[in-house]
Homo-oligomer: A and B are copies of this chain.
Amino acid sequence: MSMSATPTRKEREFQAREELILSHARRLLLEKGFQAWNMEQLADAVEYSKGTLYQHFTSKEDLVLAVSTDALRMRADLFEKAAQFKGKTRERCRAIGFACCEFAYNYPEYFHIEMMLKSASFWEKASEERRQAHAFQGARTWRVLNNIVVQAMALGDLPSGRYTPEQATFALVSVTVGSHIMTQEPILRVQAGITDPMASVRTNQDLICDGLGWQPLLHDYDYASTDKNIVKELFPSASAWLHID
């Protein structure tokens, strides 16, 4: 019965078990999607019973939302790290693009899950707590990118007359999400002749930035050098998904 802020042994055990459950659920989601596994199987995997799972999560949807929010938190972390990059505003925006690819490489199932959250009656079945946690992490990623856009306009790198910062940020978010989803569509990949999905995503981001008139434009500057620095300083492990010919 501790009144202190430090967790008791019980509380720590509870937390450790929750992470165990989440890690196994993440694996199942990655391997099988949402439908092709059930709570019984997950209970077997973590070596607890079904009833115990429901002490941590109100429903299967609540559990999946928790997995998704965990991933979203990591993405926000990567975004904040990328935003620290020293350079012009467009270079920093570019660093965010790398962060998003780094994330997508490590959590390839994430966008699928995120799409499920939008369509189904997921939100009704999830607990209020987890809904708020998800919204909070989503707001973090938005804020990081929007801050860079605001600064770019303040500095004059990005024309401020035609589009509001929010419009520009929204365009970047939309093209990024859309590109990640579309690159994961096998049929479209063949039609569009895509061999390097991450490169396609970043190309589309460049198109939006150029369309916004974000200086310096793609072909007026040596972004190859920028990219080298971003990778070296922020994402040394990016070579796993970065295909440079």
On whether the beta carbons of B200 and A211 are closer than 8 Å, the reply is no
* Copies of this chain, tallied across the complex: 2
Say whether A9 faces chain B, with CB atoms less than 8 Å apart.
Answer: no
On whether the beta carbons of A181 and B178 are closer than 8 Å, the reply is yes
Contact among B34, B135, B208 with A119 in the assembled complex (CB-CB below 8 Å): B34
Of A178, A181, A219, the most chain B CB neighbours within 10 A belong to A178
Say whether A203 faces chain B, with CB atoms less than 8 Å apart.
Answer: yes
Contact among B35, B169, B193 with A166 in the assembled complex (CB-CB below 8 Å): B193
- Dominant secondary structure of chain A at its interface with chain B: helix
On whether the beta carbons of A173 and B187 are closer than 8 Å, the reply is no
Q: How large is the interface on A (under 10, 10 to 19, 20 to 34, 35 or more residues)?
A: 35 or more
On whether the beta carbons of A120 and B34 are closer than 8 Å, the reply is yes
Within 8 A of B (CB), among A95-143: 112-113, 115-116, 118-121, 135, 138-139, 142
Which residues of B lie under 8 Å from residue A14 when comparing CB positions? none
In the complex with contacts A181-B178, A204-B174, A219-B162 CB distance below 8 A: yes
Within 8 A of B (CB), among A161-201: 162-164, 166-167, 169-171, 173-179, 181-182, 184-185, 187-188, 191-194, 200
On whether the beta carbons of B174 and A178 are closer than 8 Å, the reply is yes
Q: Determine how close the nearest CB of chain B comes to the CB of A232; give it in whole angstroms.
A: 27
Q: Which residue from chain B places its CB closest to the CB of A163 in the assembled complex? A: B203
Say whether A231 faces chain B, with CB atoms less than 8 Å apart.
Answer: no
